[in-house]
Amino acid sequence: MPRLGIVTVGQAPRTDNTPQIVAMLGDGVEILELGALDGMTAEELKDMAPAPGESRLATRLANGSEIIISHYKTVPLLQKCITQLNQQGVDLILLLCTGHFPRFESQALVLKSQRIVDHALEAVLGPERTLGIFVPLAEQAQEMAANLKHITPKVAVVNASPYQDASHLKEAAKKMAAHKPDLVVLHCMGYNEEHRRIMAEVLNTPSLVANSIVGRTMAELLCGQAMSDQ
């Protein structure tokens, strides 16, 4: 039976989005989840806050609340999780975040969600198209637009936290509609199909959800792994 390790930048288990990915994998896959913030005290979580001007990540705690953390401080914690999963003998490791990260030391393959999503966009869009991107934090907008300029110079970024209520998401969708995008992407692993449904009530535009793109890619890889185990 293939063993998949899932690493979140928040706390495991991610009951908000991991079930959607697991549903795509079918039966016969063992899931092991770890989080960079697992087991932290309130004081330790407070210490994960980003410094002014520092790159930041929005993620979820085990109690369902949102937390904003330092990208820089998170990287070594992710490596620790990846090392632990290797010791547990996983076949593949999924990094459950679409942020940019360095190469990690790992015997098992590590799939970076950001690279999977961005390469999918590159396959779909040309430079004449307008790309709409939803991200959790306003502070992420400028960096996201810069990272995707090689696909199209026409990038509209709107922030909408997946950890807030539906009214917040609808308002963000209205802002996005003004840009008349040819394609919109929910570019955070915290978004799910329910978020896409809410935004579709406002936007009549083709859309992609990072969670779904990554889940389907994992299903393909694990299908091959299952065949090799037979």
DSSP letter for 180, please.
-
What's the confidence (pLDDT) of residue 229? 56
Provide the terminal-to-terminal Cα distance of the chain, rounded to the nearest Å: 9
CB 29 within 8 A of CB 222: yes
Q: What is the pLDDT of residue 227?
A: 46
26-41: pLDDT as tens digits: 878 999 999 999 999 9
What are 95's strand-pairing partners?
A: 7, 112
Would you state the pLDDT for residue 221? 87
| Extents of the domains making up the chain | 3-114+212-229, 116-209
- The low-confidence residues of the chain, meaning pLDDT below 70, are 224-230
| Per-residue model confidence (pLDDT) at position 128 | 96
In a 3-state reduction of DSSP, which class is residue 219?
A: helix
- Contact, 8 vs 33, CB < 8 A? yes
Q: Of the candidates 193, 219, 189, which has an alpha carbon nearest to the alpha carbon of residue 101?
A: 189
Report the alpha-carbon distance of residue 48 to residue 37 in Å, rounded. 9
CATH topology of domain 116-209: Rossmann fold (3.40.50)
The pLDDT of residue 136 is 95
- pLDDT at residue 225 in the model: 59
CATH for 3-114+212-229 (3.90.660, 3.30.750, 3.40.50, 3.40.1130): 3.40.50
pLDDT computed for residue 145 by the predictor: 94
- CATH topology match: 3-114+212-229 vs 116-209: yes
Total-model pTM: 0.89
pLDDT in tens, 65-96: 999 999 999 999 999 999 999 999 999 999 99
